[in-house]
Structure 1
């Protein structure tokens, strides 16, 4: 799969967002323009095989990674003191 040329800092942020349980693939697509298939390809390319398998297993069990599978609209409560 053809991936766009991305800066190392951008790749690191995408990987971080992909590991977060409550960050849906749609948020990654909105921010970086990568579809879910491209994120998966990027993760496969950047991670060790064992880490990639662990991530895929984790993601497939999470309803929160896809907006249309979520049972809630808003995320967790965020204090006004948080930035």
Structure 2
């Protein structure tokens, strides 16, 4: 009762969003690890990716923090040192 039936279109849209997020994450991590950005710019890029992810997947901040935040924090720490 009240459950929304998941359609093929829903699945296709969800997969599209996931691909978009993965692409943005991968490109951002690549820029960070290649030192294409300053440390401050890297932190801002991390924040941009998070905002983008939350626009695509509202209410999924905890998932972002579990899945993607550690990757960014590790890349920034390894590339720019701990601050």
TM-score range, shorter chain: 0.3 to 0.5
- TM-score normalised according to structure 1 size: 0.38
- TM-score normalised according to structure 2 size: 0.38
Find the structure with the greater CA-based Rg: 2
The answer to which structure, 1 or 2, has the higher relative contact order (CA under 8 A, 6+ apart) is: 2
